[in-house]
Chain A
């Protein structure tokens, strides 16, 4: 089974958010692999094993710094890594990223594309379904269980108030949600082995951005809160002051 797992380098979720000149400034942030992409890498390793062979290639659209996150996926057990390199990749919105990835991956052969359900930070929930649409293959999003046998895919996902079971056939794209698996940590042996694994870097063009960020600001300050003495006062305030009941 030929599998691509897509990983993005993102500012750590615990990083402080700095805004400079009305734009997000991540220059002081620590970076890490997008947490949901660990599920995509882990699932790639598991599906390859279940299929009895194949390759898992980790792919990132980013600048040279993303090599670090790609090495992490190699240390987890991916067979190869591919950097779609552009120094401005960080400015790309999900629709633009999907266009770039679809153009690069469309030339290669694959059975399964694995994405995170969203990349934290910009939280656009879009690249996986966007790539699949451009490639004309099915995509199942926010998957919490995945079974592939004889080219048939059966997946489950949670929607508001229900769990859906969805079927499709390979080649297929999946976006991974928490619950799908427990991502492994890289072992020392894995880290050593990763140094010898291939990391290919291909320069890619950046199309015109599809989403323009005009400005970014901190959230509107909440009006100062008030401590009330008991449940009766609270209910009174909710009914007569805030008028939410």
Chain B
């Protein structure tokens, strides 16, 4: 009996929420194939089998490794994939997920479909953006096992009532190892993972105005803060917040671009967001062509009004 294997991402023992979406996608594929979903955390973690089961997994395996190692995680995943005769291995397209995905494919001597935004569970054709979202390709794996990573915010956890059957599995030995994880300050989610993102561009005028953006971010829970490259290059904000071709790719439910012109390289990082709001004083700014809603006006005046409206 074959299975769909889904790799759970944990950091310092805690689950990264976006991997529950991959569990949901695994469920859809497994239902089409009439097989089971096995979720594997490749290092030891504090996981709730009811949460993993609700997202769509039948079984939850947690490996024994104490620290993160991409090579050990991949080796453990490939071994489990063989043991359970996995037909498919799914990961999340995060930094760690993108790191492990090609390794699992190499160990299983198969191909992988990176950064997918959709899958047809019957044909196993995956859709993925190329050229920074300027086109989408439909791809298929030529190999015994299908390996794919899924972009956050495109798939849904199953949302059923089920507790996965939990077990512990041994980890493989590590070559490279994470020896320290320094969390960035602040409670805000990373832009790449947030379901709502508000980004500022040169139209914000000065770093002293950033509190206006932060105020809006504070009134909507779980909002990530982003920036255009112009802002990062000026040293106003760290590169970890840059959205775009040379920054992060985001696909939140809601993306609010404030004082951002909408250059092609910025669009490359955010054009697949579900709803896009543009606030810009120039009615001809290219960002408006991509926006679901736009306000033409001075961001410095509109942001406080927006924060006040959101608080209502």
Top 3 A-B pairs ranked by shortest CB distance? Answer: A210-B111, A126-B102, A168-B176
CB-defined contacts of B300 to chain A, threshold 8 Å: none
Q: How many residues of B contact A (CB 8 A)?
A: 87
A–B Cβ pairs within 8 angstroms, 16 of them: A95-B102, A133-B71, A133-B106, A158-B239, A167-B176, A209-B111, A210-B111, A212-B140, A217-B138, A222-B292, A225-B276, A225-B291, A226-B292, A226-B294, A230-B305, A235-B310
Taken residue by residue from 103 to 119, chain A's Cβ proximity to chain B (1 for < 8 Å, 0 otherwise) reads as: 00000000000000000
Residues of A near B245 (CB, < 8 A) are 13, 120
Contact A235:B293 (CB < 8 A) given known A93-B111, A161-B184, A217-B136: no
Question: Across the interface, do A178 and B246 meet the contact criterion of CB distance under 8 Å?
Answer: yes
Q: Which residues of chain A have C-beta atoms less than 8 A from B132's C-beta?
A: 13, 120, 123
Which A residue sits closest to B312, measured CB to CB?
A235
A228 to B155 Cα, complex, angstroms: 30
Provide the bound-state CA to CA distance between A139 and B101, in Å.
13
Interface hits, B158-174 → A, CB 8 Å: none
Minimal Cβ-Cβ distance residue in B for A96: B111
Q: Is B1 an interface residue (CB 8 A)?
A: no
| New A-B pairs, 15, CB < 8 Å, besides A129-B70, A165-B179, A234-B306 | A123-B114, A125-B102, A126-B102, A137-B175, A157-B95, A161-B183, A161-B189, A164-B68, A178-B239, A212-B139, A213-B138, A216-B138, A225-B294, A227-B296, A244-B253
Report whether A208 and B142 are in contact in the complex, using a CB–CB cutoff of 8 Å.
yes
Q: Is A159 interfacial (CB-CB < 8 Å)?
A: yes
A198 interface residue, CB < 8 Å from B?
no
Chain A interface, >50% SS class: mixed
A138 touches B71 (CB 8 A): yes
* Nearest CB of A to B69, in Å: 8
Q: Which residues of the other chain, B, contact A142 by a CB distance below 8 angstroms?
A: 95, 99
Query: Which B residues contact A (CB, under 8 angstroms)?
Result: 11, 16, 68, 70-71, 74, 94-96, 98-103, 105-107, 110-115, 125, 129-143, 175-184, 189-190, 192-193, 196, 220, 239-240, 245-246, 253-254, 264-265, 271-272, 274-277, 283, 288-296, 302, 305-306, 308-310, 312
- C-alpha gap A219/B271 in the complex (Å): 9
Alpha-carbon distance A163/B178, docked complex (angstroms): 10
Q: A237-B293, A242-B292, A245-B220 are in contact. Are A127 and B193 (CB under 8 A)?
A: no
Interface status of A54 (Cβ within 8 A of chain B): no
Does A160 touch B at the CB level, under 8 Å? yes
The verdict on A202 contacting chain B, using a C-beta distance below 8 Å, is: no
Residues of B within 8 A of A230 (CB): 295, 302, 305
Q: Which residues of B contact A178 (CB under 8 A)?
A: 239, 246
Query: Size range of the interface on A?
Result: 35 or more
CB distance from B191 to the nearest CB of A (A): 8
Give min CB distance, A145 to chain B, whole Å: 12
Measured between beta carbons, the chain A residues less than 8 angstroms from B105 are: 95, 126, 130, 210
Complex contacts, A212 vs chain B, CB 8 Å? 139-142
Tell me, yes or no, whether A46 is within 8 Å of chain B by CB.
no
Which residues of chain A from 157 to 214 have a CB within 8 Å of any chain B CB? 157-168, 172, 178-179, 208-214
Question: Contacting B98 at CB < 8 Å: which of A125, A153, A163?
Answer: A125
Report the nearest A residue to B291, measured CB to CB. A225
A residues bordering B, Cβ < 8 Å?
11, 13-14, 17, 19, 24, 35, 93-96, 98-99, 120-127, 129-130, 132-134, 137-142, 153, 157-168, 172, 178-179, 208-219, 222-223, 225-232, 234-235, 237-238, 242, 244-245
B189 touches A219 (CB 8 A): no
Given A179-B239, A230-B305: A19 and B135 within 8 A (CB)? yes
A245 to B253, CA, bound (A): 9
Q: How far is the CA of A122 from the CA of B132 in the complex (A)?
A: 8
A159 touches B264 (CB 8 A): no
Q: Given the complex of chains A and B, what is the CA–CA distance between A69 and B309 in angstroms?
A: 54
Asked whether B94 lies within 8 Å of A24 as measured between CB atoms, the reply is no
CB distance from A3 to the nearest CB of B (A): 18
Question: Shortest Cβ distance from B105 into chain A, in angstroms?
Answer: 5
The answer on a CB contact under 8 Å between A14 and B264 is yes
Given contacts A94-B114, A141-B99, A226-B293, contact A216 B196 (CB under 8 A): no
CA distance A167 to B105 in the complex (A): 23
Say how far B22's CB is from chain A's closest CB, in angstroms. Answer: 15
B274 to chain A, nearest CB (A): 7
Q: Which residue of the partner chain, among B107, B113, B274, B275, contacts A211 with CB atoms under 8 Å?
A: B113
